[in-house]
Structure formats: structure tokens, C-alpha cells
A and B are shown apart, each in its own frame.
Chain A
């Protein structure tokens, strides 16, 4: 018994500081409802509450009053009809609360799903198909498109940059010339050079990284084939 009283006193003190949990508050209100004791009853919750406030007021140097106005205030509140809640309004309130609760639940469900979705095993193919590597990392510096001499590779360019390729099933290097060059080189030579360099890189990478077979998959001989044609 003394234990619960002690705990209640603690809750009361917390309530004064505005630090109660909802459960504590409910317990206090319930206790107040049960004992119905007057402020004069030294064991009642009301009495304790009043005493605490007196102590706190005197410590703060404020005027201390022994007057209990709680009864007259609640009588006055009861007399005010305007604040009575209409039954319909009560119903509306509760549905509103339900709606909020439902939406919170929805958010919780969605939130949990979103948190779970980065599970790497569920990275789906759609994501791969839709993503735009150019959007993910911007090319630095203005890259000038192919000069008019690069006609054949423009098709190749759309193949790998567009993503929805119908003409070719295979990746072709996307080449962007940075400066408008005065055409001293042949496009085929450049393409062959890029292919050669990427092939050398992938062969080296297979050896010097622990990606196993992966580098071999990155490069096909597509360039070599197109040169033969």
C-alpha cells in the first residue's frame, strides 16, 4: 500500500513538472476520482497536490493561499452549457481520431516496407531498366556531340544512351568528343582504340582485382565485330 502511495506521490510531482507519461496521468486521475476526498483529508490525492503546490509556491517566494477553489470552478464549468458536447459531435470526433489512427497505421506499414525494401536481394530488374546512369552521375565539362563525320556511331550512341534498344542487343562504347576536332582521325580507328584499351583494362582487372570473372563480362568483342563489317 505504502509503495503505491509513494509511486503516486512521485507521479504527482512529475505532473507538476509536466513530465508525466500518459499512463501516470491516467492513474492520478483515476485515484482522484476514487478517493473523492476533500483537500482537508491529509491522505487524499487532492491534499497532496495542494501541499506540493504550496511548497513550490513558497519556495519560489510567491504568495501562498490555503483557499481551495476547485469545487467552485468545477461547478462553474458544469453550469456553462455551451461547452457541452453534442452527441453527433462526439461521434465525429471519434471518427476523426480513427481516421488519423488509420493513416498513422498506413504510414507505419508503408514506412516499414520502405525500410525493408533496400534489401539487396530484392533489387529488381525494373530498377535496372529504368535507371539512368547519366542522371546518376553527370558528365563534367561540356561534352560536344559527334561532328557530322560521326554519322554511323550516332546510331550506336542512341543504342547505349537511350536504353530502349531495338536494333542491337549489345553495348557499344558511348564516345563523346570534348572539343570540336578538325577531323584528323578516323572514327573507326578511334573506336578500335577504345575497344582495345577497354579490353586490356578488363583483362588486367580480372587479374588484379578480386571481382573474379566479372571484368570479362563487362566487355564484349562488339567493337571488333563492327570493325569487320
Chain B
């Protein structure tokens, strides 16, 4: 009888242990899905690698060669389109210390917007979906699903060893794949010959990145005084860069929620004023052009991004000149 009791106790202990272990396991899994994403954000910047990736959209395939080099805290990139019209980009990128809003959001550092903190996990659910093999390397698959209908979802494959994203599939709201980005070959090397970065083409695009948008602390970038302001933004999106109007009369804003990005362009120049309101689409990128009148001047407002068209429309229709917004309140104060 005593033996029996002891046995029952043992069984109970085993059961409890199993429950606890299971609990901690699932907690660990949830944590690591998000950790993987945070690690990915770091890896894409800090690693030196060269490889070949494919981009697939509606059955069309495009291949691109890439060299990414980090030297003395500075990133350099060379991107060569391998098929179709020749295109080569040589880019001197960010300092490693440069943190942009998307970096902050993905790495889990909260960003302050209007006295509240933006967290990636408020807008997306993260799930680990097992393992796979891509470009000859072991990867962990993470499914990132939006909690609302304002943005798309993703399936990303993250290299287990380095944390670099080796595959990214954009998912429509109904869960269909819209586009696929995937490495076919990649090598991580500590020292890439500078020769590989030098352009082989006469008319390559040399881009020197503007470092002013780097974040000093946990504050979002404040745009310099603009005459326009979006009255509605999809929740979770923060301003990541602002370009004031130059000689071409074009102002631009870029917003990100850490994963998705969209830009707003406002043009006052002669040419773009003639354009009719329109919808355009290039692959998964949508553009919505609307018109506005302000101070007897015509403006073209264009929202561009990898977001659902309905979201782009909603943003575009909510962009107003600040002056018209302030007017009613001034009148109210006067009376």
C-alpha cells in the first residue's frame, strides 16, 4: 500500500514536470520567433556576404547579384541585376551605429510616437513554422501575420547560423503569396575584395546615403515644418525619413511599422500638376495619386508602398494642408 502511494506520488511528480516543461518550451518558442526577427534586423546590416538572389512575382523571375561589405563600421553594397535591362547600384550605406526607426522596431526597442510606444508585436503575430533549407543552408521559417487588414503578412526564412534573411514571401490578406525573394547562393566572408564592389558599368547608380535620419535616441524623427500633414496613418507606422521640398518642388515622407514601408510624395511642379488622379501598380508596389488644391495651387499627392491598395487610398485621402486644418480652430478661438 505504501509502495502504491509512493508510486502515485512519483506519477504526479512526472505529470507536473511534464506540464512545466511543456509550458516553458512553448514560452521559449514564442520568444525565439521574435528573437529571430530581431536577430535578422541586426544581421542584415552587420554581416559581410555576397550572393545571388531571385525575385519572383506572378511567375516572372528576376535574378540579382549582391555584395554587402562592412568595413571600418561602414556598409557598402553593390547590386547588379543579372537579367533584363542593365541596372547596377553601388551604395555607400549607413554606419553600423546608425539606427533607423525600422531597426529599432525590429530589434524590439520601443519607439516613442505621440507619447505612446510602438511595438512590432502589437500589429503582428509571430509563429515559428519549422525548419527548411535554402541556398544550401539551414533556416528557420517564421510566419509573420498582421493583426489587422491594413498591412500584408510575411513568411521569412532566417539563416540559423548567421541570422540573415534568406527568403521572404509577401502574403496577401487572404494568405496567398504575392511575391518571393530568395537567395539561391550565398557566402559569408570576412574580407571581400574591394574590387568586387567597384562598378563594372559606366552608368551605375551611385547612392550616398543621407545619414541625417539616424536616430540619436529613442525619439522619432520630427519633420521640419511642412505645410502638409496626414490626418490618418495606419496604426504602428512611424515616420522614418522626411525630405523637404527642393528645387523640383517635391516633398517626401517615408513611414514604416518595422516591416512594411510606404512613401508619401507631394509635388507642386508644373508637370505633375497635370496628371489626373490614378492608381498604379508595379508588382506588389501600389501607387495612388490624388489631387489637392491649396492657396490657388494644384498639388499632386502620391502614396507609394507595399501595402494593400485600400490602405494607400485611405492614407492618400487623409492628407491635408496644415493651414486648412488650423483655420477652423482659429475661428473658434476668435469668436
**What is A's interface to B at a CB cutoff of 8 Å?**
118-121, 123, 125, 127-131, 133, 136-137, 139-141, 143, 160, 163, 165, 169-179, 181, 184-185, 189-190, 193-194, 197-198, 200-222, 224-225
Partner of A194, one of B172, B209, B262, B287: B287
- Residue numbers in A under 8 Å from B276 (CB-CB): 177-179, 181, 185
State whether A120 and B141 are in contact (beta carbons under 8 Å apart), knowing that A125-B56, A208-B240, A209-B102 are contacts in the complex.
yes
Closest to B240 in A: A208
Q: List residues 263-292 of chain B with CB under 8 A from any CB of chain A.
A: 263, 265, 271-272, 274-285, 287
14 pairs, CB–CB < 8 Å, chain A vs chain B? A119-B130, A121-B132, A123-B180, A128-B180, A140-B313, A177-B277, A197-B287, A198-B304, A203-B207, A207-B100, A208-B240, A213-B68, A213-B79, A221-B87
B85 engages A220 (CB within 8 Å): yes
Interface residues of B toward A: which range?
A: 35 or more
Q: A123-B169, A198-B287, A216-B89 are in contact. Are A137 and B309 (CB under 8 A)?
A: yes
- CB-based contact A220/B84 at 8 Å: yes
CB contact under 8 A between A193 and B55, given known A174-B281, A207-B100, A208-B101: no
A221 to B143, CA, bound (A): 31
> Among the listed A119, A201, A206, which residue makes an inter-chain contact with B263, where contact means beta carbons less than 8 Å apart?
A201
Residues in A with CB closer than 8 Å to B172 are 133, 136-137
- Whether A219 contacts B285 by the Cβ 8 Å rule is yes
B240 contacts which chain A residues (CB < 8 A)? 208
Contact, CB under 8 Å: B278 / A214 = no
A174 to B309, CA, bound (A): 13
The stretch from B58-66, B111-119, B190-198 touching chain A is B58-66
Interface residues of B in 49-106 (CB under 8 A from A): 53, 55-60, 62, 64, 66, 68, 77, 79, 81, 83-87, 89, 91, 93-94, 100-103, 106
Q: Is the CB of A170 within 8 A of B85?
A: yes
1/0 per position for B279-312, CB-CB distance to A under 8 A?
1111111010000000000000010111011100
Which residues of B are interface residues toward A (Cβ below 8 A)? Answer: 40-41, 44, 53, 55-60, 62, 64, 66, 68, 77, 79, 81, 83-87, 89, 91, 93-94, 100-103, 106, 129-130, 132-134, 141, 143, 155, 157, 164-165, 168-169, 172-181, 207, 209, 213, 240-241, 252, 254, 256, 258-263, 265, 271-272, 274-285, 287, 302, 304-306, 308-310, 313
**CB-defined contacts of B175 to chain A, threshold 8 Å:** 118
Q: Once the chains are docked, how many angstroms separate the CA of A131 from the CA of B169? A: 14
Interface core residue of B177, B207, B209, B281 (most chain A CB under 10 Å): B281
Given contacts A121-B141, A217-B53, contact A173 B58 (CB under 8 A): no
Q: B169 near A137 (CB under 8 angstroms)?
A: no
- Asked if A210 and B66 make an inter-chain contact with CB atoms under 8 angstroms apart, the answer reads no
Contacts of A221 in B (CB 8 A): 85-87
CB distance from A47 to the nearest CB of B (A): 31
Is B261 within 8 A of A185, CB to CB? no
Contact indicator A185/B274 (Cβ below 8 Å): yes
- Number of CB contacts from chain A to chain B under 8 A: 223
Most interface-central of B59, B91, B101 (chain A CB within 10 A): B59
Contact of A178 among B53, B164, B277 (CB under 8 A): B277
Question: A128 to B108, alpha carbons, bound, how many Å?
Answer: 33
Partner of A171, one of B60, B302, B309: B60
Using Cβ atoms and an 8 Å threshold, which residues of chain B touch A216?
Answer: 64, 79, 89
Kindly list 10 other residue pairs between chains A and B, CB separation below 8 angstroms, not including A120-B141, A120-B155, A128-B57: A173-B280, A176-B279, A179-B276, A207-B209, A207-B241, A210-B106, A211-B261, A217-B181, A218-B55, A221-B85
Q: Which of A131, A139, A172, A215 makes the CB contact (< 8 A) with B58?
A: A131
Q: Out of B77, B176, B261, B275, name the residue touching A204 (CB < 8 Å).
A: B261
Q: Which chain B residue lies CB-closest to A138?
A: B309
CB–CB A136/B176 < 8 A: yes
Q: B194 to nearest A CB, angstroms? A: 19
List the 10 closest pairs (A to B, CB-CB), nearest first.
Answer: A129-B59, A181-B276, A217-B55, A185-B274, A121-B132, A120-B155, A208-B240, A173-B282, A201-B304, A136-B172
CB distance from A19 to the nearest CB of B (A): 25
Contact among A127, A173, A190, A210 for B102, CB-based, below 8 A:
A210
Measured between beta carbons, the chain B residues less than 8 angstroms from A184 are 274
A119–B83 CA distance with the chains assembled, in angstroms: 30
* A197 contact set on B, CB distance < 8 A: 263, 265, 287, 302, 304
